[in-house]
Amino acid sequence: MPAPVAGLFTPFTIGDVELKHRIVMAPLTRNRASKSASNPRTWVPNDLMVEYYSQRATDGGLIISEATPVSLNASGMLGVPGMFTEEQSEGWKKVTAAIHAKGGKAFCQLWHQGRNSHSIVSGSQPVSSSAVPITDSPHSWAGLPTMPFEVPHALTIEEIQSVQEDFVKAAKLALASGFDGVEIHAANGYLFDQFHHTNINLRTDAYGGSIPARCRFTLETVDKICAAVGSGRFGVRLAPFGFFNQTLGEQRLEQWTWLCEELAKRNLAYVHLIEPRFDEIKSENEKLAALGEVEIKVDEVTLKPFRAALGSTPVIAAGGYTPQNSHDGIPAGEHDLVAFGRYFCSNGDLVERIRNNLPLYKYNRARFYGPFEDNEVGYTVHPDAVFV
């Protein structure tokens, strides 16, 4: 009898973690955490977050947490729970317990915003690969005044090592908090990406100049986390074609292919790739047109070269997926799992809706990012929900 064709609802193993289906909840910043009463400027998971994650947990399904700062300096938004205090860990334990109670699996996405952060939130100057600020938009989030981004401090080699240690400590704390693994956010113009991109990374030392040097910070951190928690419980998120946070680097195809070849040597649980069509702000057509303007050939605007470079490393693909376009890539060998983001915001039971071909509720962008006085609206309850 021939083997069944791989699809969304077939089992799959990522590293040390066995899954019963291949729909992944993508990391989604929602800014619903509670302000700590004991640790200034920090935020902790709360009961509302427990309910939110529980609603979206499924038997054998993978949830990747919202982006979670590894230190106070790593954060530039209100309402974002970190992974660097015991108080935060205790809050996350309730979240992971709720996910596990439904048979689900959870990876914590570890995050450093780098130059995208702000001293008004962290109390310290932002850091980056080089002293190059974001200039095409202001720092503007709920509960904060709109103001220009600050010029970041260029990390010294000693400070780079300190940041790497923050990631290692956060990874260990995440597993102690009940997570089944961790993922580093090395995409979307945050700190790792600020080393990747040539328009940001102007360094002339071992962390800048060449493709291997620009990827060194990422790969060193990968190796240190793998040594701490095991490669089978570790993943990396990349956006080879991202523009978010003014990432306008050159040599995209060459650099991310080389980086994926290196990651393929490390026996990771997975690499999480964002589709070129996806953008935080632009429409799909606008994004693809913009890629053409930076001289990336149309036949290269695909994740296929990176999939090939990763070899047998499992690939999660994210960005612009719907119930209609999510079924073909897995049997075609383009990726192994599919991550949904925005539709999980408005459909806590998204997996079952896709499984049973049921209509989806529209998401409300205005309720994506809190904090709000009524944090539950557009998060765990959807009073104005209508079908797509």
Q: Which of 8, 61, 3, 12 is nearest to 327 (CA)?
A: 8
Give the per-residue pLDDT at 284. 62
Show the low-confidence residues of the chain (pLDDT under 50).
Answer: 1-2, 298
In the structure encoding, which two tokens stand for residue 374, read together?
Answer: 């009524």
Give the per-residue pLDDT at 6. 80
The residue whose two tokens read 């981004």 is 149
**Alpha-carbon distance values, 182 to 110, 174, 242 (Å):** 7, 7, 22
| Distance in Å from the first CA to the final CA of the chain | 40
Please, are residues 320 and 280 in contact by the beta-carbon 8 Å criterion? no
Q: Which of 325, 339, 239 is nearest to 27 (CA)?
A: 339
Contacts of 32 (CB under 8 A, 6+ apart): 46, 48, 49, 52, 79, 370, 371, 375, 379
Give the per-residue pLDDT at 2. 43
Please, are residues 64 and 56 in contact by the beta-carbon 8 Å criterion? no
**Alpha-carbon distance values, 270 to 12, 64, 72 (Å):** 11, 12, 27
Give the per-residue pLDDT at 292. 60
pLDDT digits (tens, 9 = 90+) for 123-171: 999 999 999 999 999 999 999 999 999 999 999 999 999 999 999 999 9
CA-CA-CA-CA torsion sign (55, 58, 64, 70): positive
| Active-site amino acid positions | 190
The three-point CA angle 200-202-208 to 5° equals 105
Please, are residues 214 and 198 in contact by the beta-carbon 8 Å criterion? yes
Give the per-residue pLDDT at 373. 97
Q: Which of 80, 250, 258, 116 is nearest to 192 (CA)?
A: 116
Give the per-residue pLDDT at 89. 98
| Distance from C-alpha of 281 to C-alpha of 277, rounded to nearest angstrom | 11
Please, are residues 90 and 97 in contact by the beta-carbon 8 Å criterion? no
Give the per-residue pLDDT at 298. 46
Beta bridge partners of 64: 107
Give the per-residue pLDDT at 285. 67
Query: Has this prediction a pTM greater than 0.85?
Result: yes
DSSP strand E in the chain: where? 12-14, 17-19, 23-25, 34-35, 43-44, 62-64, 68-69, 105-111, 127-128, 153-154, 181-185, 234-238, 270-274, 315-318, 337-340
Give the per-residue pLDDT at 1. 41
Q: Which of 167, 177, 273, 312 is nearest to 227 (CA)?
A: 167
Measured from the Cβ of residue 201, the count of other Cβ atoms closer than 10 Å reads 22
The residue whose two tokens read 């383009």 is 334
The residue count of the chain comes to 388
| Distance from C-alpha of 350 to C-alpha of 353, rounded to nearest angstrom | 5
pLDDT digits (tens, 9 = 90+) for 371-383: 999 999 999 999 9
Give the per-residue pLDDT at 211. 98
Q: Which of 200, 206, 169 is nearest to 68 (CA)?
A: 169
In the structure encoding, which two tokens stand for residue 341, read together?
Answer: 């983001």
User: Is 34 in a helix, a strand, or coil?
Assistant: strand
